[in-house]
Amino acid sequence: MSTPMVLTAAMVGAETTREQTPYLPITAEEIAEDAVKCREAGAAMVHLHVRTPEGKPSQDTELFRAAIRAIRKRTDVLIQVSTGGAVGMGVDERCGGLRLTGEDRPDMATLSTGTVNFGDDVFWNPRPLVRDIARRIRDLGIRPELECFDVGMVDEVRALAKEGLVSLPAHFDFVLGVPGALTAREDALDFMIASLPEGCSWTVAAVGRHQLPFVELAAVRGGNARVGLEDNIYVSKGVLAKGNWELVAEAAKRATAKGRTLATPQQARQLLRLDS
Ligand code: KMH
Ligand code: ZN
């Protein structure tokens, strides 16, 4: 039996707009409604950003709290908060989701480990800032998902581990296909995998039209995949996904066709070492 595959739904993001797709969830209730359907379609985790009621990207603690409560009221899907936010946000703003403790504490949080061009913008992650966020994640007692947009960011995790800021083995997310960063190519994915420290697990999040084909590549390589409206709004050429759930359903179909079973949230907790 192969290892169950963890599907993550990146539901909201900071860049996708309602002008691009009317199916982008914005309010806590809309996010929870779509999260329930994502879980039913095979997702074990959601990667969460939040928005103001007007749809502006936000990392506001109370907006995160409302979304997390709405999701947890209705489903057991794991919740990973973004600490990336939107380009141009300062570190305190980006870490809004890390102020949630007790029953509102997220299950996981992202940690981007280097600076990268992000379309015409720059996703700014100088080394001191990365360490600041790593410390906050560690202090909250949760595990990071190490977001790497290029291979040097994988190497940087070794330095973070030496400094005691990340414990290995850890879980990585390879984000491929961001304009200005590493392209979504099969050999790029293989180089990322080959660069991992011993025993680490990985997810691939390929952007745009690469999203669903990379689910299949991840499936055959024994990895995990992230889909969702943060990274891609189309379920097929020119056809908008009617919610994150439709992208998860398509990912689930492709992964199972390659012989993988899908992880439940409980299995994902173990596979991603969230309790250790
Ligand atoms: N919105 C991007 C600039 C994360 O969630 O940790 C960064 C991002 C990464 O989405
Ligand atoms: Zn994100």
The runs of H, that is alpha helices, within the chain are 28-41, 61-74, 91-94, 127-140, 151-162, 186-194, 211-220, 244-257, 265-271
CA dist., res. 63 & res. 109, Å (int): 16
For ligand 1, atom 9, the nearest C-alpha belongs to 84
Which burial class, exposed, middle or buried, applies to 76 when counting CB atoms under 10 A from its CB (0-12, 13-18, 19+)? exposed
Q: Which amino acid is at 197?
A: P
Q: In the beta sheet, which residues pair with residue 251?
A: none
CA dist., res. 88 & res. 119, Å (int): 13
Give the pTM: 0.98
CA dist., res. 245 & res. 41, Å (int): 6
- % helix / strand / coil in the chain, to the nearest 5? 40, 20, 40
Number of the ligand 1 atom closest to the C-alpha atom of 112: 6
In a domain, 2, yes or no: no
For ligand 1, atom 7, the nearest C-alpha belongs to 84
Contact 202, 172 (CB under 8 A): yes
In a domain, 55, yes or no: yes
In a domain, 239, yes or no: yes
ipTM of the complex: 0.99
Number of folded domains that form the chain: 1
In a domain, 33, yes or no: yes
Domain that holds residue 78: 7-271
Contacts of 194 (CB under 8 A, 6+ apart): none
Tell me the torsion sign for CA atoms 12, 223, 135, 87. negative
Q: What is the pLDDT of residues 137-189, one digit of tens each?
A: 999 999 999 999 999 999 999 999 999 999 999 999 999 999 999 999 999 99
For ligand 1, atom 10, the nearest C-alpha belongs to 84
Mean pLDDT taken over the chain = 98
10: Cα within 13 Å, side-chain hemisphere: 29
In a domain, 276, yes or no: no
Q: What is the pLDDT of residues 32-83, one digit of tens each?
A: 999 999 999 999 999 999 999 999 999 999 999 999 999 999 999 999 999 9
In a domain, 1, yes or no: no
The rounded radius of gyration (Å) of the Cα atoms in the chain is: 17
Number of the ligand 1 atom closest to the C-alpha atom of 49: 5
Domain containing residue 169: CATH number: 3.20.20.70
